[in-house]
Chains A and B, each alone.
Chain A
Amino acid sequence: MLTDLLQYLVNGLIVGALIALPALGLTLIFSVLGFVNFSVAAQLTAGGYAGWLANTTLKLSLVPVLIIAFLVAGALGVVTDRIALAPIRRKPSARTPLMVAVVSIALNMALENAYRFSFGSGLNSFDMPIARDMKVGGIRIGLQQLHNLEIAIGLAVLLALFFSLTKLGKAMRAVADNVDLARLKGIEPVRLANLATFIGMGLAGVGGALLAIDTSVDPSTGSRLILLIFAGSVVGGLTSLPGAVAGALLMGVIGELGLLVLPPVYQSLTAFVAILITLLARPSGIFSGASGVRK
């Protein structure tokens, strides 16, 4: 029983680590730009496809594949943001955040259909050697998944360093905190918004590539996960970067533990319930009481 429970915990952390990257991206974009960008799902899929193409046609190995996934998803994120969403943000009114959210869903739909048009609706798997699962004290751990966990944690640490040590990172946090004060200090919010979108969508892309290596990629890869990604981000408070990582890991574990009582098809239900409870009871995220986790 205990090993079973531990197995669920490990599985949950692995799922959570994959979700953590797009959740970080979503949180970053929400904090700096102030709106919910649903097209993060499509950018995740973009990273999956970019990685898949780089791997199967160029025969690249894991690290360059992930870098390409980051760059492609980030660039696509910025370009589509400038084309589709920025013109709507420019007319500020009380309803603007909502309009942008609706348009980002349309953008997501457009991108998803562009992938379907180009690559068909089939599943595409990577051409990578499959590492044997290892067993530690009765708990099964996939080496690939362990790699994913390491990469996700590594990226989160890099990001944390970027935000706490570099000038640009600090400026971005300032914009997230208070746009007007940041502008007063001579920070240019538009350039930072582009950078935030690039990094955020790039992270989603890496998450998509890792996920695709683990399983496969198809046009709706991102859309199937969107609820779980949002859950991670919302549970973490939507504006706290460490919160997003913690929230994603927590959602991964809750989702796996939920399998004890729920059939697997209802995994999204735990995500939905978590979103609802967090937003109702504690919109600033469940970690907001702890010090150092606020934005």
Chain B
Amino acid sequence: MISYLVFAGTIAGFYALLSLGLVTAWGQGGLVNLGLVGFVGLGAYTSALLSGAAFPIWIDWIAAAVVSAAVGLALCFVVRNLRGDYLAIVTLGFAEILRLAETNEKWLTKGSDGISGIVAPLKSDLGESFPFFYLIMTWTLVGIVAFLLGCLLRSPFGRALRAVRDDEQIAAVAGKSVLRLKLQAFGIGAALSGLAGALYAHFTSYIAPDVFVVQLTIYIFLTVTVGGQTRLAGAVVGSIALVALLEASRFIAAAIPGLDAVQIASLREFAIAVTLILVMQLRPEGAFRMTNERSGLSASRAASESCYGKRAIVDDAT
């Protein structure tokens, strides 16, 4: 039971990393990336192949993040002028193409058989306590990333990014480099996706193209929406909620008599999809609302100038 919880907790950590990336790119930068899973796969394969070539693991992980970020930057640069819904089509297609390549470039990826026996750090030294170590390491990483992103998003960079999200033209008129901000946000998202993919690959020691399907993208959109699209805390809370939902649905579906394995699996996916639809309809702002993220420089400004309509959260500290 404990090892099961540890496993689920580690998976939640991977989801949290992915969600932090999506909050940065989508929630804060307004850039939709339906090809999220493509970058996860890219990171996982980069890391697995490099470790197969006997590079040390820390280099593999950095390389995974760097490769995913580079591909993300290139994609974002190519599609820089596309409208949001066009961007959705292109990113979705991009992930599909990556998965095709993973399936068919057998010389590199071993095709649909996948790559197995990916080494994990310190696994032989730690033995029984390895899962604990990985759990703590993953969540430490989540903490560090969340802290750094928090600093970044509170900085002038974050404010400029939100300005681009809310109105590109005004941000451009105010002298912000819209393209550079978009690239940075998309790149951070892609890098975190790649890193999460690499962590996953070394944790389960097996990856295959079937792992990186569009369902995972939907999971992460659900996570971020449940938590609140613009909030880092929401990403972390949402990913724990997602894993709870995924695991609970496993037990509930298994408890219904007379279902075969395919039916149980499809019932769970169905439940996840319906949950995302319901959350989007009933509480699109998520558990953590969008706050009026103020610069702190002009504390005396009138609180009524909130741009988000109904209710702005105003800090009364001053």
CB pair A109 B269 closer than 8 Å: yes
CB pair A105 B34 closer than 8 Å: yes
Cβ of B266 within 8 Å of any chain A Cβ, yes or no, is: yes
Query: Interface residue count for A (Cβ, 8 Å)?
Result: 42
Contacts of A263 in B (CB 8 A): 104
| Complex CA–CA separation, A31 to B270 (angstroms) | 29
CB pair B277 A106 closer than 8 Å: yes
- Given the known inter-chain contacts A87-B281, A227-B93, A279-B90, please indicate yes or no for A102 contacting B266, CB distance below 8 A: no
| Complex CA–CA separation, A40 to B280 (angstroms) | 20
Stretch of B81-89, B149-157, B172-180 on the interface side: B81-89
Contacts of A38 in B (CB 8 A): 92
CB pair B273 A106 closer than 8 Å: yes
Given A227-B96, A230-B89, A280-B81: 19 more A-B contacts, CB < 8 Å: A38-B92, A95-B84, A97-B85, A102-B221, A105-B92, A105-B214, A106-B280, A109-B269, A113-B266, A114-B266, A117-B266, A117-B267, A230-B93, A263-B104, A269-B97, A272-B93, A275-B93, A276-B78, A280-B79
Cβ of B276 within 8 Å of any chain A Cβ, yes or no, is: yes
Chain A, range 43-95, C-beta contacts under 8 Å to B: 84, 87-88, 91, 95
Main secondary structure of the interface of B (DSSP, over half): helix
Q: Contact partner of A103 among B92, B272, B277, CB < 8 A?
A: B277
CB pair B93 A271 closer than 8 Å: yes
CB pair B86 A279 closer than 8 Å: yes
Report the minimum CB–CB distance from A133 to chain B (whole Å).
29
Q: Contact partner of A269 among B79, B100, B272, B280, CB < 8 A?
A: B100
Cβ of B57 within 8 Å of any chain A Cβ, yes or no, is: no
Contacts of A275 in B (CB 8 A): 89-90, 93
| Complex CA–CA separation, A266 to B93 (angstroms) | 12
Chain A, range 275-295, C-beta contacts under 8 Å to B: 275-276, 279-280, 283
Could you write out 17 A-B pairs with CB less than 8 Å apart? A35-B85, A98-B88, A101-B32, A102-B221, A106-B277, A109-B273, A113-B270, A114-B266, A116-B262, A116-B263, A117-B266, A230-B89, A266-B104, A268-B96, A272-B94, A272-B96, A279-B86
Cβ of B215 within 8 Å of any chain A Cβ, yes or no, is: yes
| Complex CA–CA separation, A205 to B270 (angstroms) | 21
CB pair B270 A98 closer than 8 Å: no
Report the minimum CB–CB distance from B227 to chain A (whole Å).
15
Cβ of A121 within 8 Å of any chain B Cβ, yes or no, is: yes
Cβ of A107 within 8 Å of any chain B Cβ, yes or no, is: yes
CB pair B281 A88 closer than 8 Å: yes
Q: Contact partner of B100 among A219, A223, A266, CB < 8 A?
A: A266
Report the minimum CB–CB distance from A78 to chain B (whole Å).
16
Report the minimum CB–CB distance from A182 to chain B (whole Å).
21
Chain A, range 242-274, C-beta contacts under 8 Å to B: 263, 265-266, 268-269, 271-272
What 4 pairs across the A-B complex have the smallest Cβ distances?
Answer: A110-B273, A116-B266, A113-B266, A113-B270
For B5-42 the 0/1 string (1 means CB < 8 A from A) is 00000000000000000000000001010100000000
Closest-by-CB residue of B relative to A107 is B277
Chain A, range 101-135, C-beta contacts under 8 Å to B: 101-103, 105-107, 109-110, 113-114, 116-117, 120-121
Cβ of B287 within 8 Å of any chain A Cβ, yes or no, is: no
Cβ of B181 within 8 Å of any chain A Cβ, yes or no, is: no
Contacts of B96 in A (CB 8 A): 227, 268, 272
Closest-by-CB residue of A relative to B282 is A87
Query: Interface residue count for B (Cβ, 8 Å)?
Result: 43
Contacts of A97 in B (CB 8 A): 84-85
CB pair A117 B263 closer than 8 Å: yes
| Complex CA–CA separation, A135 to B187 (angstroms) | 54
For A218-248 the 0/1 string (1 means CB < 8 A from B) is 0100010001001000100000000000000
Cβ of B274 within 8 Å of any chain A Cβ, yes or no, is: yes
Closest-by-CB residue of A relative to B86 is A279
| Complex CA–CA separation, A88 to B279 (angstroms) | 11
| Complex CA–CA separation, A109 to B88 (angstroms) | 16
Cβ of A36 within 8 Å of any chain B Cβ, yes or no, is: yes
Cβ of B103 within 8 Å of any chain A Cβ, yes or no, is: yes
Of listed A102, A114, A230, A280, residue having the most chain B CB within 10 A? A102
CB pair A99 B284 closer than 8 Å: yes
| Complex CA–CA separation, A114 to B266 (angstroms) | 7
| Complex CA–CA separation, A136 to B291 (angstroms) | 69
CB pair B89 A36 closer than 8 Å: yes
| Complex CA–CA separation, A240 to B52 (angstroms) | 50
CB pair A101 B94 closer than 8 Å: no
- Given the known inter-chain contacts A272-B94, A280-B78, please indicate yes or no for A102 contacting B270, CB distance below 8 A: no
Contacts of B92 in A (CB 8 A): 38, 105
CB pair A110 B84 closer than 8 Å: no
Closest-by-CB residue of A relative to B229 is A95
CB pair A98 B84 closer than 8 Å: yes
Q: Contact partner of B34 among A95, A102, A113, A219, CB < 8 A?
A: A102
Cβ of B254 within 8 Å of any chain A Cβ, yes or no, is: no
| Complex CA–CA separation, A121 to B261 (angstroms) | 11
CB pair B215 A109 closer than 8 Å: yes
Contacts of B274 in A (CB 8 A): 106, 110
Cβ of B246 within 8 Å of any chain A Cβ, yes or no, is: no
Contacts of B222 in A (CB 8 A): 106
Q: Contact partner of B218 among A109, A114, A120, A223, CB < 8 A?
A: A109
CB pair A110 B270 closer than 8 Å: yes
| Complex CA–CA separation, A230 to B85 (angstroms) | 12
